[in-house]
Structure 1
């Protein structure tokens, strides 16, 4: 897709769990002919165990260390689509790496939509609580300002089909005209 040639770095998806980062990221990568990476799946590949196991045995802090190492490595790549875990933006150094390595896209959606999308998913350790809605609302309040702070683009995903979201994103990116210093 020639209109995307000006993008020197990666396309990086951020947002809460269930916002569509992996699904939309894979679709966009396929359209662009770029490699796709999911930072959570990279942690799983490196450790050989599910994220829920890392949380259970080592705690969230240990997972965040592993996540940071993956983000650090992925940020060195070029022309990739990267889906990050929902909490990747909690560390200032991760936010800086993401911003420096490409175009950051915040996929925003409602708590109701996330609850519907994740209702049967037992692999999300942060939702294995008595009141998932309360937990998601708290995560949204904590993380939404961080997502918005580093996002180059914000896309609402709760009411659109995946191909429509991908088309909207491509249209937004095509509005950008690279300056002489970007070429």
Structure 2
């Protein structure tokens, strides 16, 4: 039986630092880095444009299909940043989604990133980060509503959690230590 390729899956809301920390983590581990949003934009185009043309459910179905394609071809250890809403899609989105979501959640190397494990500080940090991104068309009210809706879903995930309240280097170092420990556990 071939050995499974290790993949650290970073989940969390937009603005949680999945890409920034993920790039640093991949460098520290000397692993590849893949960002599902970047893959989506390179294959499908602008995410906001896709949502406008096909609705959020249409975008989510396309993103799920892309995740299936992308994650099935990892040939080297990889740090993989999933899209912000990936773990919050409706369970009836696609017949495969519930199982895929469960597999991501149960994976020993799945990491939830949040700036705070308390609602109000998390909302404020995420909204501030999202509004600082010039390429996002959001506004304070929509960004705040999104994180308020998704926060309980993220907090209910049964995966390891890391606070992203330090520098990307500090957070990536903590996660790298965790990954190395988990990798050692699986080889014992």
TM range (shorter): 0.7 to 0.9
1:95-131 per-position Cα deviation (integer Å, ceiling 9, x unaligned)? 1343577610110221111111111325446x45744
TM-score w.r.t. structure 1 length?
0.80
Distance 1:94 1:173 in 2: 21
Q: Which residue of 2 aligns with 1:168?
A: 174
The verdict on how the C-alpha distance between 1:7 and 1:124 changes in structure 2, with shifts beyond 3 A counting, is farther
Partner Cα distance (1:124, 1:94) in 2: 28
Gaps of at least 5 residues in structure 2 are 90-96, 116-121
The one of 4, 13, 16 aligned to 1:16:
13
Secondary structure of 1:178 counterpart: helix
- TM (normalized to structure 2)? 0.78
Task: Summarize deviations over 1:127-180 as a string: whole Å, max 9, x none.
Answer: 4574432332122134432xx22x2x21001x201110011112222333424x
Mapping for residues 153-164 of structure 1, pairs under 5 Å: 153-157=160-164, 159-164=165-170
Q: How many residues align?
A: 169
Alpha-carbon contact 1:11-1:104 (below 8 Å) kept: yes
Structure 1 counterpart of 2:42, from 40, 45, 50: 45
Distance across 2 between alignment mates of 1:118 and 1:51: 15
Provide the residue aligned with 1:28 in structure 2. Answer: 25
Alignment counterpart, residue 57 of structure 1, candidates 38, 53, 59? 53
